[in-house]
Chain A
């Protein structure tokens, strides 16, 4: 096994472990912490694919800003441990087979794609931030600006909702 492959399996295992732990943990803070582990492991995977800028932004935006907000809200509400009920019949008889079916489908799709997915950059070289910004601000500038406009609208909506009482 080559070094990148070993690192890939370590990071992938970490991501899966974090995702499972996110569901199984009883305390919301522990779940949020597990989600951070998933985010950081994903950033590592991006780095392995040669997408260094995306990896850094993954940690800054998802690992940092968004998850801090989650944890902040959980701490502020002082949420306690959640109570567990028995699995509902629907989850047991429909959920588990469905989950297995979806996993099988994804596995089959990956198996048919030729055994490997192409790296983000050819020859495993690091994609420079310059290339990315050229794409973002030249070729795809309209979709990009439209997205930011959408986010602006969402922010305005949030402010309007928050100020409804006044």
Chain B
């Protein structure tokens, strides 16, 4: 058995990693919908989901069950191949793009096979991501065209035009970072930001603030989120390209949208905000207790909140969760080895969470662009600014060198 594992570890370990990542990402997607509903509800002075489980925490589960058991009618006159292909393609591409994201610095060995946090470590990971983004347009365009409905077709057309326009700015805005890093690999880009050991100061955001703003704007447009959600503008197009989809097929579009939000947040973190690096200088060793310092008060607060909760279920579940958080924080304090190990993922996930929150925040704040505004903004503002950023960065590197 052991020999078998050692021999085929190169196959078994990635499969296990893929299974874990897909499970985690789908769970995070589900709870992202909960977070989005809660945050937007509080922005609009409402409570949001509250009935299913304490604080509505079991709402994603209820939604999932509902999606699975709903009837899945197919409209008349659809193009069957494209109609079925579109949701699968969209979800598959969205999940594939996560394969090249590195989540932490460590390398470890399982059954004699050296591996790392993340699925694939390729030299051209950034290009792979752009290739997947380039293909992602088809899912939306095909869904719109195949559904044989005016609203869907308009949504599909809008989204293909929008995604072509903003893909240029998206790619060009990253060139500045590539020039500084001199590397296409996401791991290499993060390691380059770690070199000075001074923390926050050496992140790419400071020389590349313009690049970051262009990148984030274009990325929001690529993921079809507010204020660029014209492909599914509910007040004009019912639901845009996925109007004619129901049940699990609709859920697939939904999951794909949230997964690409996560990918974009990971990319922002890696390219501009130092990936898994701590914002503090290396010499400040006490900052490595920050995960436990945050976890323990949060656990205590969850227990305090749970004891006073109105339902009995909540009074059992919430203190349970709080105790688990407390135990986790305590374990990190007690075992410095584990604590050192979680530093990278902790900072990475914390930064990704901030970006996801910004996504939701914007949805609760900004109105939608008008179609002509969208196009002129993309072509006449975003594209020239990204090109200027490339030129300025090249000149700066030519004069002052890379650092």
* A53, CB-defined interface residue at 8 Å: yes
Interface size on A, residues (CB 8 A): 25
In the complex, what's the smallest C-beta–C-beta distance from B69 to chain A, in angstroms?
32
Residues of A within 8 A of B81 (CB): 30
Q: Are B79 and A27 in contact (CB under 8 A)?
A: yes
Q: Which residues of A contact B79 (CB under 8 A)?
A: 27, 29
In the docked arrangement, what's the CA distance between A56 and B130, Å?
Answer: 8
Closest to B136 in A: A64
Q: Is the CB of A129 within 8 A of B131?
A: no
Residue contact A53 to B124, C-beta cutoff 8 Å: yes
Q: How far is the CA of A53 from the CA of B184 in the complex (A)?
A: 10
Which residues in A have their C-beta under 8 angstroms from that of B226? none
Query: Separation in Å of the A21 CB from the closest CB of chain B?
Result: 11
Task: Let me know if B160 and A75 touch, CB within 8 A.
Answer: yes
- Neighbour of B127 across the interface among A30, A53, A65, CB < 8 A: A53
Bound: A136/B27 CA distance, A: 45
Cα–Cα distance between A59 and B131 once the two chains are bound (Å): 6
Expressed in whole angstroms, the minimum distance between the Cβ of B161 and any Cβ of chain A is 7
Instruction: Tell me the chain B residues, 276-319 only, with Cβ under 8 Å from chain A.
Output: none
Q: Would you call B321 an interface residue if the criterion is a C-beta within 8 Å of the partner chain's C-beta atoms?
A: no
Interface contact B167-A76, CB-CB below 8 Å: no
B123 with A128: CB separation less than 8 A: yes
Determine how close the nearest CB of chain A comes to the CB of B402; give it in whole angstroms. 15
- Tell me how many residue pairs across A and B have CB atoms closer than 8 Å: 77
Q: A57-B127, A69-B164 are in contact. Are A75 and B157 (CB under 8 A)?
A: yes
User: Given the complex of chains A and B, what is the CA–CA distance between A36 and B163 in angstroms?
Assistant: 17
B141 in contact with A71 (CB, 8 Å): yes
Tell me the nearest residue of chain B to A59, going by C-beta: B131
For the residues of A in contact with B, the DSSP-based class is: helix
Residues on the A chain within 8 Å of B328, using CB? none
Q: Which residue of A lies closest to B127 (CB)?
A: A56
Contact of B131 among A36, A63, A128 (CB under 8 A): A63
CA A133 – CA B347 in complex, angstroms?
A: 35
- Whether A56 contacts B124 by the Cβ 8 Å rule is yes
Closest CB in chain B relative to A124 CB, distance in Å: 15
- Closest beta carbon of chain B to A73's beta carbon, Å: 10
Residues of chain A within 8 A of B134, CB atoms compared: 59-60, 63-65, 68
Would A71 and B160 be within 8 Å (CB), given that A29-B79, A129-B184 are in contact? yes
Q: Judge whether B137 and A64 touch: CB under 8 Å.
A: yes
Contact B164 A29 (CB under 8 A): no
- A65 touching B167 in the complex, CB below 8 Å, given contacts A60-B134, A75-B157: yes
Contact B130 A75 (CB under 8 A): no
Nearest to A75 among chain B residues (CB) is: B145
Contact B156 A75, beta carbon cutoff 8 Å: yes
- Candidates B131, B138, B153, B164; contact of A60 at CB < 8 Å: B131
Known: A68-B164, A72-B160, A75-B145. A52 touches B138 (CB 8 A): no
In the complex, which residues of chain B have a beta carbon less than 8 angstroms from the beta carbon of A27?
79
Contact flag A71-B124 (CB < 8 Å), given A29-B79, A29-B145: no
- A71 contacts across to B, CB distance below 8 A: 138, 141-142, 145, 160
A126 at the interface (CB under 8 A from B): yes
Which residues in B have some Cβ–Cβ distance to A below 8 Å? 79, 81-82, 85, 122-124, 127-128, 130-131, 133-135, 137-138, 141-142, 144-145, 153, 156-157, 160-161, 163-164, 167, 171, 184
By Cβ-Cβ distance, the 9 closest A-B pairs, closest first, are A64-B134, A56-B127, A59-B131, A72-B160, A60-B134, A75-B145, A68-B137, A60-B131, A56-B131
Task: Please give 14 more A-B residue pairs, beta carbons under 8 A apart, in addition to A29-B142, A63-B135, A65-B134.
Answer: A30-B81, A33-B82, A56-B127, A59-B134, A59-B135, A60-B131, A63-B131, A63-B134, A65-B164, A68-B134, A69-B164, A71-B142, A76-B157, A129-B123
| Interface of A toward B, CB cutoff 8 Å | 27, 29-30, 33, 36, 40, 43, 52-53, 56-57, 59-60, 63-65, 68-69, 71-72, 75-76, 126, 128-129
